[in-house]
Amino acid sequence: MKKIFVLLAFCVMIPFNAFAFDICGWWQLEEKPSIFMKITKEKIYGFHYKTSKETEERVEIFVDNSDIPCYLDKKSDDRMLLVNALGEEKLYRLITRDTSLSQKEVQNLCDMRE
């Protein structure tokens, strides 16, 4: 009985927004490098989201209780394609996984890389 309780407690502790691939971090829009997107376990671009489906290559999310999903497609370890609710596709490059950084600090990181 104790083992079952421990297993149940472990399952409850697993975060709701766990991903097949890690999407959390600061991402830079490739076509407009001045645009950054911060994704945390609860928010994307500052909006709350819920994960619906996930695979090794794609995560389906619903932003702020929308009925239309958005998709995050893994292109490589540091590239991700965002397909928004309108079907628009935007390619992002990972800058850092450290979501505690401010946008200004992330911009400084990008300046150092160039």
pLDDT at res. 110: 87
- Summarised one tens digit per residue, pLDDT across range 28-78 is 999 999 999 999 999 998 899 999 998 889 999 999 989 999 999 999 989
- Summarised one tens digit per residue, pLDDT across range 11-30 is 444 444 444 568 999 999 99
CA distance 42 to 102: 17
Q: In this structure, are strands 47-54 and 58-63 parallel, antiparallel, or unpaired? A: antiparallel
CA distance 30 to 33: 6
* Encoded tokens for 24: 């959390």
pLDDT at res. 21: 67
pLDDT over 60 at 3, yes or no: no
The tokens 């209780």 sit on which residue? 65
pLDDT at res. 56: 87
Domain 17-113 top-level CATH class: mainly beta
| Cβ-based burial of 109 (10 A; exposed 0-12, middle 13-18, buried ≥19) | middle
